[in-house]
């Protein structure tokens, strides 16, 4: 190999070391590495020029991934995911039953939605659900992550990694020596992904009772002593009108309990789970602030105070805010109604917390005292306006408290279904279908333009663009060809399947260390060179790269969803190794067996 190739390999190894040691984020490390190699084009024309590298950031798959984040945001803001998952989750009676109810729908959803936002949406659902079922969340959160990963491996759009590989394949189609028997379609990988997912899910159900820890997660142990008494009203002709408390999901609420029900002026305390709810019923709950947020997201419940409906800001533009009343507040020692709180501050008081005291009055009748903590519904900029106001000691926005647009949930699901059908059954490219779906999400107000902008994970897109640029450098300097010759020299005497296994194994090790995107960026040009050198069909190698990069279980750093559940579930590093390493080899065995059978390596 030339000195340019060795220098490129050295830069790549330094980048891998920096990512393994977490010296900086993957986007920072890979952007730094590709910038250095691009700058070396001044010293040798073997290094890629700036236009060649920057073209990677315009890759159609990168644009598709960014647009799909907006589609997922529309589903999240409308509660469409909850509409599907709540009936499926139900009330399990055992850990095994809970895992079955959780993993099957998650794997199915992940096949058509990016698995990262799915796991983000499911984590609070699972932690609350596990509390209700009396199961430690550590028995469910690793299965949640793994099921999302395996489901994402079943279609082209299931994970950003698959789309990333597709983008690299498209970029390599005109290269000399490159041969692939068919283009990648929406369900090309399904023939391998589904058997691998079924085998993986069966493995988890069998071994998880012994290998998964029975440990309380962070949210299981966390305690918030600040409890509010909050009144909610059952909306007439809503999904919970006519249902019992049990059927409406209002029994065994995590962090809250239903204290009493008021119906036509009559108050009923200690109502049982079979008590039927009617439109207009006022439900009095006692719970922590997170539980109040959850109550506001339940279809059919609304704040009982009529002040909420008189606010200037539209419902979709409101947030929950906590504010501590100071002794300088002009309405101290007045009731909230007499002090005209809504008119004065353009915010509605939802509930009041006062030390350990239980406030029995209706919200409007509570006499404010210094130190009271008010839970308000207000405009998103309310916090900034009143943060330094002398009327309040402390003002803070409650995280993830924007109202859910329940009335648009079915519309969001219809848009998603139309996108999948258009990309599958018509000549419309996936990027075009995704752009249309994202546009419809915004036009129909399933999500706002601001929410769409903030939903895009720019660090993920920058990491992918930089990894593509690194692949260009590995190819142009001859580093990829040199590494491919080394792998071929070791594996080729044992046959083409051994070469495929060697590529898979090396990629699996890299994925566990530096994550899927960096691994694909490094391994794709090497695998392409190895296949071209032997005249093999690149399709089995493409499938192998998609499976090994997308199906990464052995470490918490191997995949983003693993990191997301790592802290929440109270896990240790060894938990992932113990459960995930055998799963890695199981998926490898399925892939190496099926891929060459479906797409023969020798044309």
Single pTM value for the model = 0.63
Residue with the two structure tokens 């589609």: 71
Asked if residues 112 and 420 have their Cβ atoms less than 8 Å apart, the reply is yes
Domain ranges of the chain: 227-397
Question: Are the C-beta atoms of 481 and 532 separated by less than 8 Å?
Answer: no
The predicted-structure confidence for 533-589, as pLDDT tens digits, reads as follows 888 888 999 999 999 877 778 877 667 777 667 766 778 777 888 898 899 999 999
pLDDT digits (tens, 9 = 90+) for 388-414: 888 888 788 776 666 667 778 889 889
Distance between CA atoms of residues 435 and 442, nearest Å: 11
Q: Has residue 464 got a pLDDT over 50?
A: yes
Confidence of residue 130 (pLDDT cuts 50, 70, 90): confident
pLDDT of residue 540: 93
Confidence at residue 307, expressed as pLDDT on a 0 to 100 scale: 53
pLDDT digits (tens, 9 = 90+) for 267-321: 787 778 788 888 888 888 877 777 777 777 777 887 776 555 455 444 556 778 8
Residue 166 has a pLDDT of 87
345 and 423 Cβ atoms separated by less than 8 Å: no
Within 10 A of 263 (CB to CB), how many other CB atoms are there? 14
Distance CA 551, CA 529 (A): 23
Q: Quick one: tokens of 46?
A: 């073997």
**Residue 314 confidence (pLDDT):** 47
Contact 562, 506 (CB under 8 A): no
Return the CATH superfamily for domain 227-397: Regulator of K+ conductance, C-terminal domain (3.30.70.1450)
């Amino acid at each position: 190999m030339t000195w340019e190739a060795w220098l490129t390999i050295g830069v790549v190894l330094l980048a891998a070391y920096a990512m393994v040691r977490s010296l900086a984020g993957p986007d920072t490390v890979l952007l730094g590495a590709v910038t250095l190699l691009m700058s070396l084009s001044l010293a040798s024309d073997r290094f890629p020029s700036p236009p060649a590298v920057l073209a990677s950031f315009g890759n159609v798959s990168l644009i598709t991934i960014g647009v799909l984040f907006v589609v997922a945001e529309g589903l999240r803001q409308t509660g469409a995911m909850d509409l599907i998952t709540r009936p499926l989750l139900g009330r399990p009676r055992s850990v095994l039953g809970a895992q079955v109810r959780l993993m099957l729908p998650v794997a199915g959803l992940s096949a058509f939605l990016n698995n990262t936002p799915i796991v983000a949406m499911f984590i609070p659902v699972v932690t609350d659900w596990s509390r209700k079922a009396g199961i430690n969340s550590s028995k469910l959160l690793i299965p949640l992550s793994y099921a999302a990963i395996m489901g994402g491996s079943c279609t082209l759009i299931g994970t950003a990694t698959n789309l990333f590989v597709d983008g690299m394949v498209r970029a390599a189609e005109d290269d000399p020596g490159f041969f692939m028997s068919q283009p990648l379609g929406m369900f090309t990988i399904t023939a391998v992904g589904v058997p691998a997912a079924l085998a993986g899910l069966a493995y988890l159900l069998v071994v998880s009772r012994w290998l998964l820890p029975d440990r309380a997660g962070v949210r299981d142990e966390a305690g918030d002593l600040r409890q509010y008494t909050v009144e909610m009203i059952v909306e007439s002709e809503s999904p919970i009108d006519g249902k019992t408390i049990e059927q409406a999901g209002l029994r065994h609420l995590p962090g809250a309990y239903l204290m009493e029900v008021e119906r036509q002026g009559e108050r009923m305390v200690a109502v049982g789970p079979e008590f039927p709810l009617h439109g207009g019923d006022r439900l009095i709950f006692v719970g922590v602030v997170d539980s109040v947020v959850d109550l506001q997201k339940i279809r059919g419940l609304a704040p009982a105070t009529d002040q909420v409906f008189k606010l200037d800001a539209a419902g979709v533009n409101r947030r929950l805010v906590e504010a501590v009343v100071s002794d300088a507040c002009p309405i101290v020692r007045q009731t909230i109604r007499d002090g005209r709180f809504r008119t004065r501050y353009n915010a509605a008081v939802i509930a009041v917390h006062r030390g350990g005291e239980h406030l029995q009055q209706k919200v409007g009748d509570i006499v404010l005292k210094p130190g009271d903590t008010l839970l308000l519904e207000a405009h998103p900029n309310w916090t900034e306006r009143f943060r330094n106001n002398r009327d309040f000691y402390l003002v803070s926005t409650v995280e993830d408290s924007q109202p859910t647009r329940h009335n648009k949930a079915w519309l969001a699901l219809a848009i998603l279904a139309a996108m999948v059908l258009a990309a599958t059954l018509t000549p419309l490219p996936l990027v075009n279908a995704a752009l249309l779906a994202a546009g419809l999400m915004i036009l129909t107000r399933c999500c706002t333009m601001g929410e769409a902008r903030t939903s895009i994970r720019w660090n993920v897109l920058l990491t992918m663009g930089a990894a593509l640029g690194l692949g260009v450098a590995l190819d142009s300097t001859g580093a990829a060809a040199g590494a491919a010759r080394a792998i071929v020299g070791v594996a080729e005497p044992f046959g083409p399947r051994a070469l495929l296994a060697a590529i898979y194994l090396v990629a699996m090790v890299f994925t566990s260390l530096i994550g899927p995107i960096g691994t694909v960026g490094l391994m794709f040009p090497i695998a392409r060179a190895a296949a071209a050198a032997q005249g093999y069909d690149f399709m089995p190698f493409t499938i192998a790269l998609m499976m090994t990069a997308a199906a990464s279980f052995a470490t918490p750093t191997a995949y983003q969803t693993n990191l997301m559940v790592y802290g929440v579930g109270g896990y240790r590093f060894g938990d992932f190794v113990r459960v995930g390493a055998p799963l890695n080899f199981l998926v490898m065995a399925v892939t190496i067996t099926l891929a060459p059978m479906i797409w023969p390596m020798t044309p």
